[in-house]
Structures are given as C-alpha cells and as structure tokens.
Amino acid sequence: MATLGVYSKKHKVTVVGSGNWGSAIAKIVAENTKEHPDLFEEEVQMWVYEEETTVPKTSKHYDAGSKFSTQPHKLTKLINHFHDNVKYLPNITLPPNLIANPSLQESVHGSSILIFNLPHQFIGGLCDQMKGHILPYARGISCIKGVSVDREDVRLFSESIGDKLGIYCGALSGANIANEVAQEKFSETTIAYDPPPMDSRNPTPKATTPQGPTPSSSQLDLTAINEHKDSKGKTSKVKLIVPPSELPPIDHNIIKSLFHRPYFHVQVVSDVAGVSLGGALKNIVAIATGFVAGLGWGDNAKAAVMRVGLLEMVKFGKMFFSNNVQTKTFTEESAGVADLITSCSGGRNYRCAKMSVERKVSIQQVEREELNGQMLQGTSTAEDVFHFLKARGKESEFPLLVGTYRILHGEVRVEDLPYLMEGKKK
C-alpha cells in the first residue's frame, strides 16, 4: 500500500451528483478518505444541484419550532448543517468531511478522482460545464448504470464521460439498492477499471540477460504512451495526460481502498463493457420476469426467464464487445448475475411489469400511476436494443430480448413468452 513516505501528494476526491445513490456513494467515499489519510485528502466535495426545501416531518431533524422545518432553505445548507441529505437520502448520517457544494466548477477544482452519479441524460451538459475546470490528468468512475443504445452503436456512459472530458473513466455497478447500502446492510458491488498504460509506475527496466541485451520492446517506458484502447479494442481518440509521480498510482488497489467498506464489498475487474452492459440488459430481463410473475406462473417460470436472460446478456456482450467482454463478469460478479437476481425479484421494472399483467393495463399506464414522474429504464432499453439488433439482422439471436419488446408493443401476448424464448414465431 502506498504511503506518503513514497508519494508527497494525496488524491482529492469529488462526487458529482447527490441524489439517493449519489449520497450513498459519497458517504462511503468520505468514510474511506478519512480512513486512508496516506492516500486521500480527508475532505470530499459533493456537487449538489441547488434547490430550496424544508426539513420534512418524517425527518429525525424535524422541529416545528425551527426555521429549517418551517421555511425553505438551500439544500446544500441543510446537508452541511445536519450532515443529512434530508430530501434524497433522509435519516442517514453523512460524514462531517463530506461537503455539499452548489458550484460544479468549485467542487471539481483540484480533484484527481471524479465520481459521477447522476441521471444519464445530464452527462453531456454537466461535462461541458466542467471542461477547463478539472485537472487534465484526473481519472473517473461512473456509477451511472446502463449504456446508451441507438441504431448505430452501443456507447458506455463511462466512455461518453471520458471522451467529453479527455480523461479515463471506469464504471461501478452491482446489486446495490441505495437505501440498503446507506443503512450499512451488507452488499457487494463490481468496479471495472482498466488502468491506461501510461498510469503504470513500473516500466520494464533496461537490463541484460545471459543471452545479451533485452529486446528494445521490453525497455518501453509505458508512462510515455498517451494512447489507450476503448471498450471495443480500438485506439481511443482521447490523448490522456500522465498523472504526476507525486500522487499514488490509480490502480485496482487504490480503487478498492476508496470504495470498499465492511458492509460494502468491492471486487475490482478490468471489464468495463461487461459491467456496463449488465446494468442495462438486466432491466429488460426484469420486465420479462415481471410478466410471468403477473400471470401467476410461479418461481419456476421466473427462474427460466432469468436463465435465458443471462445467456442472452453474455451473448450480446461477446457479440458486440468481443475484444473485452468476459463471460465471468456476467456469471460471477455482482454487476452480472447478482444484479439480475435483485432486479428480477423486486426492482421497479419487475414490479411494474407484474402489475401491468395483473391489472390488464399497459406498463406505461402503471409507470404513470406508480413512479411519481420517474421513468422505467427497461422499456426504453428494450426498444433501443431491438432497433439496434434489427439494424444488424440479429433479432433471431436474442429471442427473449426481442420477445419482451414485442410484448411491450402489443405484437404478441405475455402468454406467448415460452414460445418466443425458444425462437418460435407467433
């Protein structure tokens, strides 16, 4: 483990986003920066979209005689006063070294590690605002689940962030319900981080062997390389800046030190595409599982859908990200099979699909009635994935993913799902 005996500077950390999951992750990170003073500056900045609110009556901080409970105050002031995100993660004590900041530019200033946790539709605009205000050698972790899919391509949110800011960005995903994590109930997650070659601090030394000098290729200084490969194995258009040698290298060990807690176990892998795809495709499988649950077909049927769904998730990854995706990411990691099980047991996509069958109404109607303006990810992902597959003539390769789309659009009945899963046409 790195110490200041070797490195003269520490990493400053910023969390971009402060919703339910953003605040839970910020809590974890702030606990760990305090616990590892040899690696990190203790204070963690958390960017908060500023709004005004009052302390709700359900809050442990509610006091009918207090101005905080009777008059609107800025959310950042409430968070920093009570050490509690009273609106988005209420009644969870946040570490005092976690500072809510309404200024995006100020919060990211001087930070060498940026953690992104916000709705995916805001990535582009916020990254534009951050340009010119971040360290050029910063590195990132995206906690934004899923991928961006259209007819032309599948894009990882982590790479969208990296391309916008000119940095490298990994991804975090897993069976992680924010409130349970914040309450310190045991869970696991997967972080995918594939350190760029120039981040290596151990280039092969120039040396000789009994047979003579080592080949010139073995004397390559990796820190001199500013190119790296993207998730499809192509050379990224981003030219990275090497972090200064005064900072500890951002590798799997330091990533684990920043996120691992006794109640939140972390596995660090290099498969960024697999981790990201798992967070997207499982939502389609969850809808299909909810459909059969709504019919009352029982646990056997749900298990069958999940089994086929997992196979199609692996197949999708191997087909379209063949250079990087590993099967074990889906079958062994929290970001794969564990997240799938959680989503197919009680996630919102599962619940809304189940209710739509039970009530004999569209899933869109259930969404409007039950989610208070929030949107299901599974329905939009199912449509995007279908059109992506159709553009390549691959619909027959993914009968469950395509069948779920067809049910959502009223082309076939839920009762037809077993036939569709076999690749039979209806």
Q: Can you point out the beta strands (E) in 56-174?
A: 73-74, 98-101, 113-116, 139-142, 147-149, 154-156, 168-173
Strand, coil or helix: what is 92? coil
**Under 8 Å CB-to-CB from 371, ≥6 apart: which residues?**
348, 352
Q: What is residue 205's DSSP assignment?
A: P
Residue the block writes with tokens 């990200």: 321
Neighbours of 413 (CB within 10 A): 14
Over its C-alpha atoms, the chain yields an Rg (Å, rounded) of: 23
Helices 272-294 and 377-391, packing angle to 10 deg? 110
Contact (CB, 8 A) for 366 and 337? no
Q: Which helix (H) or strand (E) holds 378?
A: helix 377-391
Residue 98 CA to residue 106 CA, distance in Å, equals 14
Instruction: State both tokens at 28.
Output: 């974890």
Residue 149 CA to residue 98 CA, distance in Å, equals 35
Is 328 an active-site residue?
A: no
Residue among 12, 27, 145, 282 flagged as catalytic: 282
Q: Which helix (H) or strand (E) holds 311?
A: helix 299-320
Nearest to 97 by CA among 189, 27, 153: 27
Contact (CB, 8 A) for 345 and 285? no
Instruction: State both tokens at 257.
Output: 């030190």
- What residues are paired with 267 via a beta bridge? 190
Residue 19 CA to residue 184 CA, distance in Å, equals 17
Q: What is the largest CA-CA distance in the chain?
A: 84
Judging by DSSP bridges, how do beta strands 11-16 and 40-47 pair with one another? parallel
Residue 177 CA to residue 181 CA, distance in Å, equals 6
Contact (CB, 8 A) for 32 and 57? no
Residue 12 CA to residue 112 CA, distance in Å, equals 6
- Active-site residues, by number, are 282
